[in-house]
Amino acid sequence: MRSLILRLIALGMLLLLVAACEAEATPVAAVVPDTPTAAFSTATAAPPLHYAVAANANGFIPTDERITIAEAALIDQLGDDATSEIVQATYDVVTAYGLYEDWQVSPISQRITVIMNPALPPLDENAITEAIRTASDVPAIIESLAIPGAVPIMENAADTTIRAALANAGYPDGIVLSGIYENLPGAELWLGQLQANNIEIQATAAPHAEVIQAIVNGDVHIALIALTSDEQRAELEAAVGVGNIIPLYEVGISYAAAPGIDVTFTASGWPIPSRSTPTEPVPTATAPD
């Protein structure tokens, strides 16, 4: 029995001695991988584009379209010759009514058109609608506007028999019609021609969409509008009939753009500039070592 106890004591001492001789574990440092980082960009914001509108287009760009252009460029109204080299060197885009040498032509031109509503008397009388046609002296309007490349569509000149025709139709004191019109080159001249022939149009200026709506709804006797597509004309023909749509003249829009400028167009043909987008490498992340 004593021998067994001595053996157990010896075994315990041996185990303690072995444990004391074992090497202490060394802590392993945690490895934290590098976080990929995007390459640092030194690019600076591009300067704003500068956009000039010629004097002959002053006030004729619709408000909503002018806002769209203003979102793309700073707009100045020119008082000088838009075709001068100084002007074109100063601006990224210069635009004007008309056709000019070495300028680009907008794909959208404006056909200044009279729309008559035969559902409202006295425009249901042929004598009255013919008097309006005859009073519209298109060559005089074209001459006064002096827009290069403006094209007359209806070429009748002044007629001195209109007042007599109105009197013979039962309107010796002339007629008064309700109207609506877009603010267009020549609009005031046309209204003045009718007034001079005893045809008074009590008209208000309105945006394009409102003019269309007034015609389609039959709210007015007569309207003056710029048509820019066959779809627009078809809509109005359905409302008033083909014979009550009278195209007067057509005016184009041109522009000069600096190199590196791309252009799209508003609904009525005015250029909207943007910088050409160069092809650049896509920034890549920095890989860890």
Task: Look at residue 156 in the predicted model and tell me its pLDDT.
Answer: 73
Sheet strands (E) in the chain: 49-53, 73-77, 93-97, 104-105, 110-116, 151-152, 175-181, 199-205, 222-227, 245-251, 253-257, 261-265, 271-275
| Beta partners for residue 219, in sequence order | none
Regions of the chain short of the pLDDT cut 70: 1-45, 157-158, 278-289
CA distance 216 to 238: 9
Residue 242 burial by CB count (10 A; 0-12/13-18/19+): exposed, middle or buried? Answer: exposed
Rounded CA gap, 48 and 22, in Å?
76
Q: What is the pLDDT of residue 288?
A: 46
d(CA 247, CA 184): 14
| Omega within 30 of 0 (cis) for the link into 122 | yes
pLDDT, residue 28, reads 43
Residue 80: what pLDDT? 76
Q: In residues, how long is the chain?
A: 289
Domains detected in the chain: 49-107+253-274 (no CATH), 110-250 (3.10.105.10)
pLDDT digits (tens, 9 = 90+) for 78-125: 987 899 999 999 999 999 999 999 999 999 999 999 999 999 999 999
DSSP state for residue 287 in the 8-state scheme = P
Residues facing residue 178 across a β-bridge: 202
Question: Which pair of structure tokens corresponds to residue 132?
Answer: 């309006």
Whole-angstrom distance, CA of residue 78 vs CA of residue 58: 8
Q: How far apart are CA 56 and CA 157, in angstroms?
A: 24
